[in-house]
Amino acid sequence: MYDAIRESFSYLGLYRKMLRVRKNIVPESVSFGPHKDQYFLYYEPNHAVSDKIIMWVHGGGWNASTPKYFDFVGQCVANAGYRFVSIGYRLAPKNKYPCQIEDVCAGYQAALQYLDSKKINVTKIIVSGPSAGAHLSSILCYSKSVQEKYGVDVSNVIGFIGVGGPYSFSVHTSLSVRMLLNQLFDKDYNRANGEPCSLMNASNIPMLLIQSRHDGLIDFSCAEEFYKKAVSLGNACELYEVVDKKDTHSWYTAGMFLETREENKGLDKFFSWIENV
């Protein structure tokens, strides 16, 4: 309860920092469907330091936010020298699952085609997402049934980073998460078909899970269950526990991109893992 209260009081500080972000890069917006949320933003760094590309799926409880809202994440990653794609998707409760993963898969494929058309090397993709975005991007990477259903090729993915993800629905879930899941799924939908732990297959894509024990929204056991499933399948996985003082859900899933690597150890872990994968 205490961490949930801390999470609620964190929003004002986050918004203040968001308003101070300098927009050094103007992203390109590319639609991949007729709905207003079916688009991605592409950030080309002024000085690229790597040929690795970060494909990012935003959070927001499946029912809120857009790539444009999380522009500060694109600014942070692109300013660090990485090409960055931020994928949008249709939102619940108006659009029920699997609309969201359908859009993430379509956006991912469209982004690959777009980058290829710009003569950009697409052989080193790192997929990442926070919160609801971690849920969706993990399914994209590790569910063969979803990949086959939507015609997704993840052979160029060299790593996955999930931050504060609800990977398991069988462990302790807060009232807030239960309400969000009720909005995401139809009443009679088999939720195992939308649960990362249930959908995970053996894969050669290594993963980093960043999770806090003081999240206030997502229980740490979600990441632990996902980690255990990965290990049981022989998938390379590292579970990193947040040690920063700002360790509630919104601060470490999104707020870390408002700080520097020197200020935020979670952000430093994010980039150092990318550098070494």
- In this prediction, residue 9 carries a pLDDT of 72
Q: Which amino acid is at 167?
A: Y
pLDDT value for 16: 87
Ranges under pLDDT 50 in the chain: none
- pTM for this predicted structure: 0.97
